[in-house]
Structure 1
Amino acid sequence: MRLEEKQRVTSELSAQLEENGTIYLTDFTGLNVKAVTEFRALLREQGLGYRVVKNTLMKRALEDLDLPDLSAHLSGPTALVFSESDPVAPAKVLKEFAKAHDDRPVVKVGVIDRVAATPDDVGRLADIPPREILLGGIAGGLTATVGGIAGALAALIRDIADMIEQVGKKNQSA
């Protein structure tokens, strides 16, 4: 690469790192072209980015950014998986794909909201239920709570009505 090309790639990479809240550095060693193409397609379906980077250019791109020091993880083949906001979606794609492809790609490190995440952290994120299921659980809990309150109020009104009826019967008999 010529110097101008390196500078252009470095500035593009800096911009991508700056605008994405979730970044996972992966090692794709052992994946053939077909598998990498399949992996890219899975990421694209989820609205996620993927980019193979040269480690030296990545180090330069990280110099002026407020991100954790990732230089210890910049050896060997490195590819980045990007997400603007959701750290769970790329973790799930990585875990599911790796499960079907001999544990490849391997997560080297993650950066979530400018905080470093270990490969174990990324694995735990992948185990979180989908957003829809979590929201459903919250909605179910709120519905149950509201239903309980409504039942308690209905019982209170029924008890008051019963008391009024008993007082009315007592007054009629007297």
Structure 2
Amino acid sequence: MKKEIKDTIITDLGSKLKEFPHFYLVDVSGLNAESTSSLRRKCFNSEIKMVVVKNNLLLKAFEASDVDYEPLYGSLKGNTAVMFCQTANIVAKLLKEYTKEGIPALKAAYAEESIFIGGDKLEELVALKSKNELIADVVALLQSPVKNVSSALQSSANKIHGLLKTLGERPE
């Protein structure tokens, strides 16, 4: 491969590392053509960008980045596909569908500014909540007491109104 092509690939990987806040390193060496095509289709439908890369080129892209990816260097062995995404747990959920077959296998992940190494971290990654999910949980927790007070006030108002109406209709 010519040096110009390698430089272009490294630059492209570097821009993807900046564009996408989360990525997974996956071993896809055991997939046949049909399974690979199916995986790519699922990635496309889930807005996941899957790129099969040479480990040395990805290493150089990591080194050129502002973020310290050094703990991931040990995972760059064998065939590596990088799956870039905007939501931290979407790739983990996709990979969990394949756990029965064990292929593709998770090597490592960079999600929510944390590094996860090893396939045993898949359950942790599936359980991660996205920023929007966390905001929704906090809003729901904040709304709960307000809803309780509001409903209590409404039911009390109905009781008082009913009492006053009954007292007003009563003959003296």
Q: Say yes or no: TM over 0.5.
A: yes
What corresponds to 1:88 in structure 2?
Answer: 89
C-alpha distance in structure 2 between counterparts of 1:4 and 1:30, whole Å: 31
C-alpha distance in structure 2 between counterparts of 1:150 and 1:125, whole Å: 38
Q: Secondary structure at the match of 1:63?
A: helix
C-alpha distance in structure 1 between counterparts of 2:151 and 2:129, whole Å: 31
Q: Tell me the alpha carbon deviations over residues 28-71 of structure 1, each in whole angstroms, 9 at most, x when there is no partner.
A: 12111221111011100111110111111111111121142111
Give the alignment partner of residue 74 of structure 1, picking from 64, 73, 76. 76
C-alpha distance in structure 2 between counterparts of 1:110 and 1:125, whole Å: 9
C-alpha distance in structure 1 between counterparts of 2:124 and 2:154, whole Å: 44
C-alpha distance in structure 1 between counterparts of 2:143 and 2:91, whole Å: 31
**Paired residues, number:** 169
1:24–1:107 contact (8 Å) kept in structure 2: yes
Change (3 A) 1:35 1:149: same
C-alpha distance in structure 2 between counterparts of 1:129 and 1:67, whole Å: 23
Question: RMSD between aligned alpha carbons?
Answer: 3.6
What corresponds to 1:110 in structure 2?
Answer: 109
Q: Residue type of the partner of 1:11?
A: T
Q: Residue type of the partner of 1:86?
A: T
Q: Secondary structure at the match of 1:76?
A: coil
C-alpha distance in structure 2 between counterparts of 1:169 and 1:16, whole Å: 75
Change (3 A) 1:62 1:43: same
Gap runs ≥5 in structure 2 = none
Gap runs ≥5 in structure 1 = none
C-alpha distance in structure 1 between counterparts of 2:42 and 2:135, whole Å: 24
2:43–2:49 contact (8 Å) kept in structure 1: yes
C-alpha distance in structure 2 between counterparts of 1:169 and 1:45, whole Å: 66
TM, length-normalised to structure 2: 0.78
TM, length-normalised to structure 1: 0.77
2:75–2:108 contact (8 Å) kept in structure 1: yes
1:93 to partner: Cα distance:
1.1
1:139 to partner: Cα distance:
8.7
C-alpha distance in structure 1 between counterparts of 2:94 and 2:51, whole Å: 15
Change (3 A) 1:61 1:141: closer
Aligned: 1:152 with 2:161: no
C-alpha distance in structure 2 between counterparts of 1:166 and 1:40, whole Å: 70
1:97 to partner: Cα distance:
2.9
C-alpha distance in structure 2 between counterparts of 1:120 and 1:109, whole Å: 10
